[in-house]
Amino acid sequence: MMNETPISNVDRRPATSELPVPTFPWPENIEYVLARYERQLINHALAHADGVKRRAAQLLGISRYALERRLTRVAGLLDGEAALKNKVATSGGPST
């Protein structure tokens, strides 16, 4: 009988280098920093999947529906802020 050791607590993720971290002080909320990084990861997966969302989701280890939710959330956070800033700049102030 072979001496087998359970491997239940072993981290099987590949070793990667450290993620880039912006220097302090951050000019914005951590939500925006994370959203931009998440968008980069999603765009990278989409590029490798030839734009096929189902395949990109598989590369990311999430469902296609989760990918859609993340795309919507990130776009709302990042693009919504850009659109608001653009609107304020062209109108001279926030609309009520």
Q: What is the pLDDT of residue 68?
A: 96
Mean pLDDT of 34-44: 94
* Residue with the two structure tokens 């693009």: 79
* Residue ranges of domains in the chain, CATH in brackets: 30-89 (1.10.10)
Mean pLDDT of 21-31: 80
Helix (H) or strand (E) holding 61: none
pTM value? 0.61
Query: What are the C-alpha distances in Å from 12 to residues 8, 16, 71?
Result: 10, 12, 27
- H runs (alpha helix) in 1-96: 30-48, 53-60, 64-91
Q: Which residues, in sequence order, are CB contacts of 77 under 8 Å at separation 6+?
A: 31, 32, 35
Q: What is the pLDDT of residue 20?
A: 74
- Cα 21 to the center of its chain, rounded Å: 15
Residue of 60 and 79 predicted with greater confidence = 60
Confidence grade of residue 58 (pLDDT, cut at 50, 70, 90): very high
